[in-house]
Amino acid sequence: MLKLTNIRKLLGLFISILFFSSSVYAEERRLLIDAHIHYSHDAWDMLPPKVAIKVLRDAGLKNAFVSSSSDKGTQLLYNEAPDLIVPVLRPYRKRGELSTWFLDESVIEMIEGRLSKYTFAGIGEFHIFGEDANVPVMKRVVALAKEYGIFLHAHSDAEAVENIFRQNPEAMVLWAHSGFEGPGKISEMLAKYPNLRADLAFRNEHADSGKVDEAWRKLFLAFPNRIMIGTDTYTPERWYYVIDHANWTRNWLRDLPSEVADKIAYKNAQKLADWALKK
Amino acid sequence: MNTLALRLFAIWLVVFGSVGISLASEFFSEAEKTIIQSFGPWPPPLIADPSNSVSQNSEAISLGKKLFSERRLSLGRDLACSDCHAPDQFFTDGTALNSAHGRATRNTPGLLNLRWSSWFGWGGAADSLWAQSIRPLLSKEEMKFTGKKLRELFSEDIALTQKVQELFEISVVDQSDEALFVIVGKLLAAYEETLISGLSEFDRFNVALSASDNIGIESYLATAKRGLKIFIGKGRCNLCHFGPTFTNGEFGDIGVTQFITKGRIDKGRYQGIKALQSSPFNLLGEYNDDQQGTSRVRTEHVTLQHRNWGEFKIPSLRNAVKTAPYMHNGSIETLAGVVEFYSNLDEERLHIRGEKILRTLNLTPQEKKDLVAFLRTL
């Protein structure tokens, strides 16, 4: 027969195992907000809204910033799961407009119409580089973001980002892919522009096999409140990468101090969405 | 009469031949000639695979050739390597997706000239030819073979066992299932390394170009010459399809669908790297015979990247005309279809930071014909 002390020891062990397992699970399933999701026209058939939402939930996402070519994709997902989707207005009717949209003045009418009709946290992700950020269409986009108090999700080089801030020093800019710049330049830009945020979509350089690169670690620790993660589902097939990407992200986030990891994982994105959606 | 005819022919050669020669030599710039010469010589030097102790061993090659057609290497004893990699079809099966023994999800690649590859399979899940040769044996969709069945084969085929024991200096009964599969893989690879295509029409032209052999140069079709110019010029095909094998041996995403069916996708190189890194047969493992360790280096440096999702092996273009259909899923039936694909390339499916080399070619009908004509000569 088991003695009472032994039963207590066993019970203690069981509780410890249970606690340890649940904390490991919580760590593995760290909350994430994916700040870079597209649900464009070519995805709707192969991945209907219910399926797409299931992918996002299966990935353990708290929220997803979604912008689509056309915006109909974002609305389809938002209607399906308003608790999950943070809608962002993409100025493209189809993905092929990414290198011409800023020369097409009819885009303005489209953006104005959508902004007045639907709720958005931002305008983007749009592609704009260098001096093109000063063309009339882009200037109007910057002005509209100011008018609505929402952010700009800019796939841009540093020069275009600087041009946007010249137009409106108070603009809130989420720098897509961190401009594909190295940690030194990103750090310089974040230091220079307090309203600049940066996403890590389609970036690998900052982490390998769960280990954060030292130069990037310095960046993350220097700007823990300004960086967020994202997948970039630029083709329908990329939607099947969201779960793998989330797991990969959780893996390298573990290599950072927990508080910093949580900020990059979801808190920074949450704060940006709350600011834009006036919560 | 014959003498007169010969004299007239000689005069014709001097007068008209020299005009043609002059045109041909001016057709390609010096820079283009340098690129063209980088596609040769063919074949490249034959170097034994250091990871395979029986590479280039004549007995192993002979035994490997027998095993290549050995149906007893499948669970039902009804399927051999040669049934899908048919020697009389340039070691392919001529079909988009083989459905003879379970529905394949990838096109059966040809086996010629693989000895110069570093990665094997459309996703590069193997880093040696012998490891790749094991894969279909164990695949549940293909030969479905098992260690138990392999042991039975060795038990019943005494001659095979004796040869294997002599070649590898081992006792078959003392080997693990894994080690036995490695032995079979290395024998198959020893044979597969010998599958090298002969000189192509293009190679003969290239030799002539290097030697300034004007008659040899002129005997190459004008349309193929124009196609070659597009291949290394407007098409920039040679940026991925370069060197004597017409491939960089790596992986690319050209926007071919990853969907196998609705809701099911082929992850391509992404899955390949994962499979490679977890495989007991990779070159980092105990079955690599390379004493120097240099063959490990490439595999050691493989890291999983976002871009690998949807990348597939960039195939050699040698014998392309004989190995239809094309792409990882066999979705394009003809070379003309492949050229059309690149001419109308859907850049929307490519990430702006992904395949920066790729762009829609917008070829004219004549350019398309010329490019196909060139590809047919490889």
Average pLDDT, chain A: 92
Q: Quote the CA–CA distance of B351 and A120 in Å, as a whole number.
A: 25
Residue B16 pLDDT greater than 70, yes or no: no
The pLDDT, as a whole number, for residue A9 is 55
Does any domain span residue A240? yes
The pLDDT, as a whole number, for residue A115 is 98
Of the listed ranges B15-19, B221-225, B350-354, the one predicted with least confidence: B15-19
pLDDT tier at B287 (50, 70, 90 boundaries)? Answer: very high
- Say which CATH topology domain B204-250+315-377 has: Cytochrome Bc1 Complex; Chain D, domain 2 (1.10.760)
SS3 labels along B21-80: HHHHHHHCCHHHHHHHHCCCCCCCCCCCCCCCCCCCCHHHHHHHHHHHCCHHHCCCCCCC
Q: Cβ contacts (< 8 Å) between A51 and chain B: which residues? A: 263
The pLDDT, as a whole number, for residue B347 is 83
Residue B13 pLDDT greater than 60, yes or no: no
* DSSP single-letter state for residue B86: B
Structure tokens at A11: 């019970």
Does any domain span residue A8? no
pLDDT tier at B21 (50, 70, 90 boundaries)? Answer: very low
Average pLDDT, chain B: 92
Q: Quote the CA–CA distance of A38 and A233 in Å, as a whole number.
A: 5
Which residues of A touch chain B, with CB atoms under 8 Å apart?
A: 42, 46, 51, 94-96, 98, 127, 155, 177, 180, 202-204, 208-209, 232, 234-238, 240-241, 244-245, 248
Per-residue pLDDT tens digits for A27-74: 558 999 999 999 999 999 999 999 999 999 999 999 999 999 999 999
Does any domain span residue A70? yes
Residue B17 pLDDT greater than 80, yes or no: no
Does any domain span residue A13? no
- Other CB atoms within 10 A of residue A13 CB: 10
Cβ-nearest to A204 among B255, B270, B306: B306
Domain with CATH 1.10.760.10 in chain B: 58-193, 204-250+315-377
Q: Which CATH architecture has domain B58-193?
A: Orthogonal Bundle (1.10)
Per-residue pLDDT tens digits for A228-269: 999 999 999 999 999 999 999 999 999 999 999 999 999 999
Q: Quote the CA–CA distance of A247 and A230 in Å, as a whole number.
A: 12
Task: Identify the residue among B265, B328, B355 best suited for mutation to test binding to A, counting A beta carbons within 10 A and taking the highest.
Answer: B265
Report the predicted TM-score, pTM, of the whole model to 2 decimal places.
0.89
Per-residue pLDDT tens digits for B297-328: 999 999 999 999 999 999 999 999 999 999 99
Q: Are B151 and B79 in contact (CB under 8 A)?
A: no
CA angle, corner B359, sides to B354 and B360, nearest 5? 140
Per-residue pLDDT tens digits for A87-111: 999 999 887 788 899 999 999 999 9
Q: Cβ contacts (< 8 Å) between A236 and chain B: which residues? A: 259
CA angle, corner A24, sides to A23 and A29, nearest 5? 95
Task: Identify the residue among B260, B329, B348, B359 best suited for mutation to test binding to A, counting A beta carbons within 10 A and taking the highest.
Answer: B348
Does any domain span residue A160? yes
Per-residue pLDDT tens digits for B85-96: 999 999 999 999
Q: Quote the CA–CA distance of A183 and A193 in Å, as a whole number.
A: 15
The pLDDT, as a whole number, for residue B354 is 65
What mean pLDDT do residues B140-164 have?
A: 95
Of the listed ranges A18-22, A149-153, B50-54, B228-232, the one predicted with least confidence: A18-22
Q: Could you tell me what percent of chain A has a pLDDT over 70?
A: 90
What mean pLDDT do residues B201-218 have?
A: 96
Q: Cβ contacts (< 8 Å) between B257 and chain A: which residues? A: 237
CA B28 and chain centroid, separation: 28
- Helical H segments across chain B, by residue range: 2-12, 18-27, 30-37, 58-68, 81-84, 129-138, 147-156, 158-168, 177-192, 201-210, 214-218, 222-232, 269-278, 297-300, 335-343, 365-375
The nearest CA of chain A is from the CA of B185 a distance in Å of: 30
Stated as kind and residue range, the H or E segment containing A228 is strand A227-228
Number of folded domains that form chain A: 1
Stated as kind and residue range, the H or E segment containing A207 is strand A207-208
* DSSP single-letter state for residue B326: B
CATH number, position A149 = 3.20.20.140
Q: Cβ contacts (< 8 Å) between A208 and chain B: which residues? A: 303
Domain extent, residue A187, equals: 32-276
Does any domain span residue A71? yes
Per-residue pLDDT tens digits for B32-54: 999 999 999 999 999 999 999 99
Q: Are A41 and A69 in contact (CB under 8 A)?
A: yes
Does any domain span residue A59? yes
pLDDT tier at A19 (50, 70, 90 boundaries)? Answer: very low
The pLDDT, as a whole number, for residue A10 is 52
Chain B, nearest residue to A40 by Cα: B348
Chain B, nearest residue to A96 by Cα: B348
Contact between chains at B353 and A209 (C-beta distance less than 8 A): no
The pLDDT, as a whole number, for residue B19 is 44
The pLDDT, as a whole number, for residue A143 is 98
The ipTM, to two decimals, is: 0.86
The pLDDT, as a whole number, for residue A24 is 47
Q: Cβ contacts (< 8 Å) between A247 and chain B: which residues? A: none
Q: Quote the CA–CA distance of B253 and B242 in Å, as a whole number.
A: 17
Residue that the structure tokens 């997902």 belong to: A77
Contact between chains at A235 and B310 (C-beta distance less than 8 A): yes
Q: Quote the CA–CA distance of A166 and A146 in Å, as a whole number.
A: 13
Q: Are A184 and A163 in contact (CB under 8 A)?
A: no
Cβ-nearest to A204 among B270, B305, B347: B305
Which residues of B touch chain A, with CB atoms under 8 Å apart?
A: 255, 257-259, 262-263, 265, 267, 270, 303-307, 309-310, 347-349, 351-353
